[in-house]
Structure 1
Amino acid sequence: MSDLPITAEGRALVAGIARRPVLDIVRGALFIGILLLVWISLRPFPDLSGFYLSDVTAGGDAFLYGLFGVLMVVMLALTIGDNMPALKSLLTPAFLLFAGWICVTVVLSFDPATSLRRLSLSVFVVVVAATILLLPKSQGELLRWAGIAALVLLATCYLGVLLAPHLSIHQAGDPQEPALAGHWRGAFGHKNVAAAMMAMLLFLGIALTRVGGWLAGIAVSGLAAVFLFCTAGKSSMALCLAVLLLTSLMPLVRSFWGRALLLLTPLVLLNLLGVGTVMSDTLDAVASRLPLDTSFTGRADIWEFAFDSLRRRLWTGYGFESFWGSSAIQNLQEGKEWAALASHSHNGYLDIALGTGLPGLALLIAAIVIKPLRDFQAADQGGNAGPLAMLFLRIWLFGLYLSSMESFFLDRADTIWVTFLISVFGLHYLARFRMRS
């Protein structure tokens, strides 16, 4: 008996079926690998005993630029064929205007070469963050892959604490902040970054539990919660609880304006009673009556210096990522010498204004404060507000609140920034496309 002839169409079908498992493995490996690259970085467990934190987070590694450039090309090649509508949907007025203004600030920058170099890495990272969510074919696959990456990160951090405590726990001999001795930082350069990441992983663990991944969800949530406590990151702990509480009220508040009032009022208050205290004596007096450290652990001095600097270039700023650590800081008064060593102002909104001026700050608010909330509202109204949408909402909201005390907006491959950015793109896609369960 002779074999049945196989047509050209049949051979193509067989070849396609054979390639599918390989592509699935590639997609999963890329997704998990990119998350681990962002979360663990190329230089985990930095030794803080011999240099300042600004050296740890400078982000000037040429290899990192090249790696993200290659990843951008690979991600576009993998996703552009099947996901062109999703990629085209990113060309919204909010995103385009903000990106356009950033380009203007590069041209007008105090240091155009530095701004252009840092913008190039930011573009690579933004493209990777926008396309990574197009690799999974379902919500379950996305959460499963993210859960694997989270467990690897948590195992790395805990192993660091057990096997190399001098590189994963702040030491009294660290020259920058010896008062943090005993606070866990894991694979990260500072306990504040570790605390923020653990809060975000806690949100991920809750999402995994909600979709039926009980074992992974409980493991991620429990390990992240314990590590968060050991970082002694009071701000992240308080903000994590606030985010969980406020987002749990979302089913009770259905209108967009009601949700904006619920979620964004704390953001306004955090900035008014924080950075606003160096602008207004009235706000300073109000804050002094509250059970707060009115110096905000030294942040008030740096906020005052940043505001004084901003007044000189209010409308254009100093250029994209070209203020801190640059020649823009010169002729410092006695007692202000520390400003030459600072890497940011501990307020993301203030740093955006320093880099891109007040127009840039307004466009940032439109693109990553107002738009994501509108996207969640659209996803909810379209029946797409499940555990994944809530995960993105919580990471987004936590990032907004945290930026009132830390600075990571547009900070190239920064761990918190990229995780926050992925959540912004996630809300954007869920508002426009339905992902398989």
Structure 2
Amino acid sequence: MRHRYTIPNAASPHSGSAPLHLAATLQLAQPSLLSETTTRLITILVSGLSLALMLISLRPFAVRLTYDSASANSGDALNQLGFLAAGCICLLTLLCLANRKVLTSLITPGFALLGAILVLNLMRSPYPDIMLRTLVFTMIGMLIAFTVVALPRSQADFRMALTIGAGAALALSYIGLVAFPDLAKHGYDAYEPQHSGLWRGHFSHKNIAGPVMSVIAIFGIYLMRSGQRFSGFVIFAAAALFVANTGSKTTVGLFPIAVLIVFMAPLFGRASMAIFASLVAIAGFGVFTLGVLYSPGLAEFVGDLLGDKTYTGRTTLWEFSLSMIPHKQWLGYGLYNFWQTPNVLGLDAPFEAAWDYRYIVHGHNNYLDMLLNLGVIGTAVLCWVLFVAPMFNYARARRRRGNRPMADMFFMVIVFASLLSFIETFFLARNDAIWLMHIFAVFGLHLLARFDFDGQPGRTTPETAWHGSDAWPRNAIRFKPDR
């Protein structure tokens, strides 16, 4: 007998378009192996612990006291083995418990092109072994991030996992302030005594702690909007207080801007308002950062506003990056093949510069580092995957009423990351917490644009539900016979 089922047309930007009909001749029904309660418990725990791992890592309070380029490139054995084990657990759990259509939805032109660009970079790399190891752990980090959002079987389960992960990160950082103040606060550093007394918690630097805690505060906003007012408020207040004590002026300023931008969507009832406002903010912040290199008047204005027109010396790195991009503008120098390589280390000491950029880990600008590493072609693909496609997905996700608070949360993270990218670099950065939060939001909007999490009566079918009837160990796929 021939059977038929339907899935949403993911290629169409219109949620109301006719569904795509696929014929099938095989029924993949399997007997139930686990009870629903056991399945929910497993998915919540794996999702929550995976989020905690992304936010904490396996070596918290690890402070680099001296600079060593060799050790910086060699990685951390404990983190590598731990993330490899976590990746295997996540992969197994996804294959056993996740909706098959959720997994296959990742097969898109954007992700495929990004994979092709990375393979091309690997083939061109003068250090293929180092790049391969880096790519493997970057992919593992992305797998863990996808697991956090793909496993929970309802928004209630997702909120529980979110509370577990965010609560663990906050608790550890605040415990560190009391139990290990020399490690949880700056001041124990050899190279940055000017940061003495600033909070960094279990993170290695305040410039990581500030953005990640801002994302956790966004989680708190989502929880409050979703009915968990007390736990949401505690998470938001604790994270926001931490951000204020990191001393990062730009992060403190960007966080509320991202929140206000996204709140324009529920205020005006249109996702396009938030998207337009985010584009204006990105363009404006681009002018106020890179623009100071070309306008002395703008530089003086920024100096009066922030007390530092160089963004803590970052303008030196941006000038150097802009001077090096034209040499390999189309394909770049290769992923992770610019900073801390002979391309930079072999140069003469820049005595006139504010920073000695020969020993800088990255250029403190996501967009310029994209161009250095991947060139114009790779940067276009990566910007599409990380910034542009999520905007389209956000507009589609908000058409489903039940998905809106969650979509707003993910888009706040995207907007915040897009603004932060002008002063920090974190793209494809292994298990870097900022990068993992960014790709976590990308995956979240990707799925919300294609599936209903809890489902809306009259609008959701088993094929468009986040966890429909094809989630193992339930019946893999239920087909509706043709009539």
- Which amino acid is the alignment partner of residue 160 of structure 2? R
RMSD: 2.3
Distance (whole Å) between structure 1 residues aligned to residue 296 and residue 154 of structure 2: 49
TM superposition score normalised by structure 1:
0.89
What is the match of residue 13 of structure 2?
none
Q: Is the 8 A contact 1:273 1:284 kept in 2?
A: no
Within a 5 Å distance, the mapping from 1:362-373 to structure 2 comes to 362-373=380-391
CA deviation digits over 1:333-358, x for unaligned, max 9? Answer: 23268223211101011111111111
What is the match of residue 7 of structure 1?
none
Within a 5 Å distance, the mapping from 1:11-410 to structure 2 comes to 16-17=34-35, 20-48=36-64, 50-52=65-67, 60-81=75-96, 82-171=98-187, 173-252=188-267, 258-278=273-293, 281=294, 283-290=295-302, 291-292=305-306, 293-335=308-350, 338-410=356-428
Aligned-residue offset at 1:277? 3.6
Fraction of identical pairs, as percent:
30
Per mean C-alpha deviation after superposition, the further-off stretch among 329-338 and 419-428 is 329-338
Distance (whole Å) between structure 1 residues aligned to residue 281 and residue 74 of structure 2: 31
Aligned-residue offset at 1:257? 5.6
- Which amino acid is the alignment partner of residue 154 of structure 1? L
TM superposition score normalised by structure 2:
0.81
Per mean C-alpha deviation after superposition, the further-off stretch among 130-139 and 332-341 is 332-341
Per mean C-alpha deviation after superposition, the further-off stretch among 26-35 and 213-222 is 26-35
Q: Is the 8 A contact 1:319 1:355 kept in 2?
A: yes
- How many pairs does the alignment contain? 418
Q: Is the 8 A contact 2:263 2:274 kept in 1?
A: no
Aligned-residue offset at 1:61? 2.2
Q: Is the 8 A contact 2:44 2:160 kept in 1?
A: no
Secondary structure of 1:91 counterpart? coil
Distance (whole Å) between structure 2 residues aligned to residue 54 and residue 215 of structure 1: 45
Per mean C-alpha deviation after superposition, the further-off stretch among 210-219 and 72-81 is 72-81
Q: Is the 8 A contact 1:199 1:224 kept in 2?
A: yes
| Higher helix content, 1 or 2 | 1
Change (3 A) 1:21 1:258: closer
- Which amino acid is the alignment partner of residue 365 of structure 1? C
What is the match of residue 3 of structure 1?
none
Secondary structure of 1:231 counterpart? coil
More relative contact order, 1 or 2 (CA 8 Å, 6+ apart): 2
Secondary structure of 2:423 counterpart? coil
Aligned-residue offset at 1:161? 0.6
Structure 1 gap segments, 5+ residues each: 1-11
- Which amino acid is the alignment partner of residue 405 of structure 1? I
Distance (whole Å) between structure 1 residues aligned to residue 326 and residue 126 of structure 2: 15
Q: Is the 8 A contact 1:184 1:227 kept in 2?
A: yes
Q: Is the 8 A contact 2:47 2:151 kept in 1?
A: yes
Structure 1 ranges of 4+ moved more than 6 A:
53-57
Per mean C-alpha deviation after superposition, the further-off stretch among 84-93 and 179-188 is 84-93
Distance (whole Å) between structure 1 residues aligned to residue 210 and residue 411 of structure 2: 18
Distance (whole Å) between structure 1 residues aligned to residue 362 and residue 206 of structure 2: 16
